[in-house]
C-alpha cells in the first residue's frame, strides 16, 4: 500500500499534516517578504502572516468587533423611557 502524501495542495488549497517543529511554526507565521496570507504550518488552508501590517489591522478590527459584540462598553440600553409606549400622530 502506497503512503499518502503528508503535504500538498488539493483544489488549490494547501494542506500539511507533517509534525510541526518550533522552527517551522515561527517561520510560517513570520514571513517578511510574503503577503498577508501564508500557508498554515499544520492543517488545511491559510493563516495570517504576522510580519505584514495588514494582518495586524485585521486582528485589531476583529478584536474591536468582538469587544463591542460582547458589550464591552458597559452601557446596555439604560434608557428608562425605552419601556414606555410611544405615541405616534399621523395627519
In this prediction the pTM is 0.64
Task: Give one word for 12, left, alpha or beta, with left for phi > 0 and alpha for psi -120 to 50.
Answer: left
Asked if 35 contacts 58 with a C-beta cutoff of 8 angstroms, the reply is no
Q: Express each pLDDT in 38-58 by its tens digit.
A: 999 999 999 999 999 999 999
C-beta contacts of 20-26 below 8 A and 24+ residues apart: none
Taking 80 as the threshold, does the pLDDT of residue 78 lie above it? no
Q: How far is CA 71 from CA 24, 58, 62, 66, 74, in A?
A: 38, 20, 14, 9, 6
What is the domain partition of the chain in residue ranges?
Answer: 7-73
Summarised one tens digit per residue, pLDDT across range 8-38 is 998 999 999 988 889 988 888 999 988 999 9
Amino acid at each position: 500500500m502506497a503512503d499518502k502524501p503528508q503535504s500538498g495542495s488539493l483544489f488549490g488549497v494547501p494542506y500539511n499534516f507533517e509534525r510541526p517543529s518550533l522552527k517551522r511554526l515561527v517561520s510560517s507565521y513570520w514571513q517578511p517578504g510574503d503577503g498577508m496570507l501564508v500557508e498554515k504550518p499544520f492543517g488545511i488552508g491559510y493563516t495570517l502572516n504576522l510580519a505584514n501590517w495588514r494582518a495586524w489591522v485585521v486582528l485589531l478590527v476583529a478584536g474591536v468587533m468582538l469587544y463591542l459584540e460582547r458589550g464591552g462598553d458597559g452601557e446596555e440600553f439604560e434608557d428608562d423611557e425605552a419601556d414606555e409606549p410611544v405615541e405616534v400622530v399621523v395627519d
